[in-house]
Structure 1
Amino acid sequence: MNLENLLEDGLKKWNIEISKLQQSQFKIYMDTLLEYNKVMNLTAIEDPQDIYTKHFLDSLSCLSIDIIKNGDRIIDVGTGAGFPSIPIKIMKKDTHITLLDSLNKRINFLKEVGNRVSLENIEYLHSRAEDAGLNKNHREKYDIALARAVAPLPVLLEYCIPFVKKGGYFICQKGPSALEEIKGADKALKILNCEIEKVFDIDIPFTELNHKIIVIKKTGNTPKGYPRKAGKPSKEPLA
């Protein structure tokens, strides 16, 4: 199966259609990722088919749950090489995406992707999540926060929830340990005024991967003092 068919057929399983332009954008994205990966550590996955399934389709599984809408203001916290937000932006061009990462060379890579793929309404933010979450330009300004990071859920909640407006959502991609992590997140959920709305089981097409998407709704404003200063959420999680 060629890569275009892989993406098209995979998305059909979620009733998502892809255009020729979007197909070409994903190809440019992959080529840029592989080019930059030779000189910096962006991904351990270098096989094109695996990039399409384990990065692109995995990222786009966030669209299968029908929460992200055109016009949404979205922040991807700890975006790394741009997952899941750049694939989402390609498929939903009317969203406004902010890519947040603490490493400036990754931000420079993401800017290059944005230029080559011709992405509009996209912002690149070089910052620690804890610092940006206290910044009045970003605090409680977003409809949705995304994270595909490997930090435990209580840590991710403190990183991500401060960005979300009351009534907005944090969409968190997790592996098989998701349900155990949820059990350990009660304290963080209460302190940060949010609740688990739903957990989705996601099978990634053409792989044996089964992931969870945790949808967390923000029910009240983030209390003053959160997020705590840089480094504290990971060293002393709210658990």
Structure 2
Amino acid sequence: MNGVDLIIKYFPDLTDLQKQRFEELGRLYPEWNDKINVISRKDIDQLYTRHILHSLAIAKVINFKPMTTCLDVGTGGGFPGIPLAIMFPDSDFHMIDSIGKKISVVNGIIEALDLQNAEGEQIRAEQIHDHYDFVISRAVTRLKPFYQWIKNNISRNSFNDLDNGILYLKGGDLREEMKEAKKKYTLYDINDFYDEEFFDTKKVVHVPIVN
């Protein structure tokens, strides 16, 4: 099964434009990775499973309503922001990273795909003063310090089916980390959504921002 077929397997209602954009990722990331290494050499062959499909696990937890705003903190090469921007063209994704070379890749791919609802910026989370409905991320650090970085960037006015907050892609045993954070949370097992063995210990963590 090629990469795009894997995405279609789990998201059968994609538009032709979405399919085209997901297919383009399979060309764009290897090209960029040859210039600026944002994905490990062994992982580039598993791009669709370990990066794109993994990012889209958030889309199995929530169907972002139009006008939803998301801040992707520590986006690296654009995950989970770019796959989610393709999936939700009526929502906006601001992808940030402190490393300029990574943001060069992000903006290069955004431009190549003509994604009007996404932008990359070299900036630290602590320097962001805007408000968003959700902060999304892939395991940048432990939840307790991460929460402190971004707690003031999340709007308290929720209109999606999940309360505004953090949607965090994490792996492994999270009991100690969640106990340390002392926050209300919900864990979603990604292997409830996907068959691939890679996702056996992977989770989406939703931490709502409460008023």
The TM-score with structure 2 as length reference comes to 0.88
Alpha-carbon shift at residue 99 of structure 1 (Å) = 0.7
Unaligned runs of 5+ in 1: 190-194, 221-239
Of 73, 87, 90 in structure 2, the residue corresponding to residue 91 of structure 1 is 87
Does the Cα contact within 8 Å between 1:77 and 1:159 map onto a contact in 2?
Answer: no
Query: Which shifted more, 101-110 or 152-161?
Result: 152-161
User: What does 1:19-38 align with in structure 2 at a 5 Å threshold?
Assistant: 19-38=15-34
**What is the correspondence of 1:15-164 to structure 2 with a 5 Å cutoff?**
17-44=13-40, 45-47=43-45, 50-66=46-62, 68-132=64-128, 135=129, 138=130, 141-164=131-154
1:229 corresponds to:
none
Alignment of 1:179-190 (within 5 A): 179-186=175-182, 189=183
Match of 1:205 among 191, 194, 203: 194
Query: 1:36, 1:109 within 8 Å by CA — same for their partners in 2?
Result: yes
* 8 Å Cα contact 1:53-1:206 kept in structure 2: no
Question: Which residue identity lines up with residue 44 of structure 2 in the other structure?
Answer: E
- Relative to structure 1, the CA distance from residue 150 to residue 124 in structure 2 (aligned partners, 3 Å threshold; closer, same or farther) is closer
Cα distance, 1:128 vs structure 2: 1.2
- Which consecutive aligned stretches of 4+ in structure 1 deviate over 6 angstroms post-superposition? none
Letter in 1 for 2:125: A
Question: Structure 1 length normalisation: TM-score?
Answer: 0.78
Aligned CA RMSD, in angstroms, stands at: 1.7
Percent identity between matched residues is 28
Q: Which moved more, 1:79-88 or 1:18-27?
A: 18-27
